[in-house]
Amino acid sequence: MDLRTTDLLVQPDGSVTTLYTEVIDLAALGLLQIERASDVEPDSTGHWWAQLREGPKLGPFTRRSQALQAEVDWLLEHRLQQR
């Protein structure tokens, strides 16, 4: 994900879904409801996992950055697609 851009999915009711970044001032869009989408944590062997809430457990990854990218990719594909 390019951190200089962000995808906004605007629903017919006017609500907006996006991955939280500080690229734009999301509060300017109105009242915010921010929810954690996943947890990225290491296991006892040092491998990294991304556990998506209401989704799969991705991994193992040797680097945290790989787990974070897999998390973003999954969320963009499964949560930020027009329904």
Summarised one tens digit per residue, pLDDT across range 10-31 is 889 988 889 888 888 999 988 9
- The secondary structure of residue 4, as a DSSP letter, is T
Counted domains in the chain: 1
Range of the domain at 68: 9-78
Q: Is the entire prediction scored with pTM above 0.85?
A: no
Express the helix, strand and coil content of the chain in percent, nearest 5 each.
25, 25, 55
Ramachandran region, residue 14 (left: φ > 0; alpha: ψ -120 to 50; beta: rest): left
Residue 39 located in a structural domain: yes
Residue 34 located in a structural domain: yes
Residue 69 located in a structural domain: yes
For residue 77, give the 3-state DSSP assignment: helix
Task: State the pLDDT at residue 72.
Answer: 93
